[in-house]
Amino acid sequence: MTRRALALAVVLAVVLAACDPGAREAEPFTGIWESEGWGTFLLVEGGDVEIFEHTEVHCLSVASGGARGIADVLSLDGERLVMRDNDRVVRFDPIELLPPRCADASGSPDPERAIAVLAATVDEQMAPPPDPEWEERLAEASLLAAGADDSVLLEAIGDLLDPLGGAVRVATPDRDVAPPRPRFEPPDGTSPAADGAAATGTMSAGVAYVGFDRIGPFDEDTEESERELTSLVDEAVRSSAVIIDLRAADGGVLGHALLAATRFVPTQTVVGRMEARAGDGFVPAGDLTVTPLPTGVYEGDAFVLVGPRTRGVAEVLALALSTAPTVTLVGAPTAGTPGPPLIRFLPNGWTLSVPNLRVLDGAGAEVGFVEPDVVSDDPMADALRMAG
């Protein structure tokens, strides 16, 4: 079964879309559930499930359908409901009623409402919270959005989000993004993989190169995509040295990052513990665990290029690889938002990407930026020099 790994609602929505009504399977989960953090309600009734995303200012129905197959992602832990999505864990508590704002949980093309929901989502979910000038920029964006068409609205959102350095993004149905994602430009002599998410090649002195635009596909976690990633990495590690370029890697699938790391990490390792924003605090959201392959790990030298455009899932991969004895991180500190973002739907049909996770190390300290072992203004040249 295909599972999309970015949004809580989307994980369940794909399960629902693929399945028929399943009253018997849904029976243990019957009721109304509110997530701890994450801003999600679940309504399970009579073999059907409806999923709502909410903030203080809205409640939007984003998916509904039959519940057969729902036990693939849901389980009970005492009186709590638990959802597992790759390594992420989300817990739900039972509630008696949905709030009144869910009575009309439909979308709206109103640009002012889109801005209001965006602002509330960022305020409630973003980790760390936005910069001190956020409220001033939000007021300006709200004025520009009043009665605006889509192009003006997108421009206003771009001005609002630009100072956040790409941490928060909005995507329209045709995948235009505000602010735009920086383009990944692989070095000469390399060629893009079939889906455009990676480039491969051989550098000087026979050093293999793998450069990522994202770690796997944007929104799908399938056996086929796992095979493609495994094949790509396995081909690279046939060389005596490999360069893994994450300098422009942004997005992808959490499970793919941990899968790629299995080729390099020699023992089962918990590289971090995720926590999700919940009000003024954080709640546990699962462990980042790398389990090595039984066939053994790569024994050659690996050089991982990182920088401020290394974000999200790519930072998880960099963090995992940093634990391997034969891996050297080269470049500059990463963006400081490790983990997959929370993807939410705006009332006008656009999607919003917000970092809502933080990662803690074994001592309970927040990881934040992933620091390189070797600070470099020219990571590629320095990696090739060390590989030679």
d(CA 208, CA 35): 44
Cis, peptide link before residue 179, omega less than 30° from 0: yes
168-194 tens-digit pLDDT: 999 998 877 888 878 788 888 888 876
223-276 tens-digit pLDDT: 777 888 888 898 899 999 999 999 999 888 899 999 999 999 999 999 999 999
Query: In this predicted structure, which of 47-61, 87-101, 119-133, 173-187 has the lowest mean pLDDT?
Result: 173-187
d(CA 341, CA 218): 11
Q: How confident is the model at residue 135 (pLDDT cuts 50, 70, 90)?
A: very high
| DSSP secondary structure letter of residue 77 | E
| Residue 282 pLDDT greater than 90, yes or no | yes
Query: In this predicted structure, which of 88-92, 137-141, 201-205 has the lowest mean pLDDT?
Result: 201-205
d(CA 217, CA 225): 7
Asked whether the beta carbons of 351 and 326 are under 8 A apart, the reply is no
| Residue 22 pLDDT greater than 80, yes or no | no
pLDDT at 141: 95
Q: What is the DSSP string of 10-40?
A: HHHHHHHHT----HHHHGGG-EEEEESSTTE
CA-closest candidate to residue 151, choices 176, 184, 132: 176
pLDDT at 196: 66
| Residue 352 pLDDT greater than 90, yes or no | yes
CA-closest candidate to residue 340, choices 307, 318, 309, 311: 311
Mean pLDDT: which of 139-148, 203-212, 373-382 is highest? Answer: 373-382
| Residue 11 pLDDT greater than 90, yes or no | no
| Residue 2 pLDDT greater than 60, yes or no | no
Cα dihedral 68, 71, 73, 75 sign = positive
Instruction: Decide: helix, strand or coil at residue 171.
Output: strand
Q: How confident is the model at residue 147 (pLDDT cuts 50, 70, 90)?
A: confident
Asked whether the beta carbons of 109 and 47 are under 8 A apart, the reply is no
Query: In this predicted structure, which of 40-49, 212-221, 243-252, 372-381 has the lowest mean pLDDT?
Result: 212-221
Q: pTM of the predicted model, to two decimals?
A: 0.89
Place of tokens 């984003």: 62
Tell the burial category of 261 from Cβ atoms under 10 Å away from its Cβ (0-12, 13-18, 19+): buried
| DSSP secondary structure letter of residue 377 | S
In sequence order, which ranges of 18-162 are alpha helices (DSSP H)? 23-26, 111-125, 134-145, 150-161
- Element housing 335 (H / E): none
Mean pLDDT: which of 7-16, 190-199, 289-298, 327-336 is highest? Answer: 327-336
Region 309-324 average pLDDT: 95
d(CA 275, CA 88): 9
Query: In this predicted structure, which of 102-106, 218-222, 280-284 has the lowest mean pLDDT?
Result: 218-222
pLDDT at 222: 66
Asked whether the beta carbons of 42 and 32 are under 8 A apart, the reply is yes
pLDDT at 23: 63
Region 362-378 average pLDDT: 95
CA-closest candidate to residue 33, choices 77, 3, 66: 77
Cα–Cα distances (Å) from 59 to 101, 172, 227, 286, 346, in that order, read 6, 20, 38, 26, 10
Strand order from edge to edge, sheet including 241-245 = 190-192, 198-202, 208-212, 241-245, 301-306, 327-331, 374-375
pLDDT at 144: 92
The crossing angle, in degrees rounded to 10, of helices 254-261 and 223-236 is 30
Distance of CA 193 to the CA centre of its chain: 21
pLDDT at 89: 94
Locate 65 and state its tokens. 């359908």
Beta bridge pairs of residue 252:
215
pLDDT at 342: 93
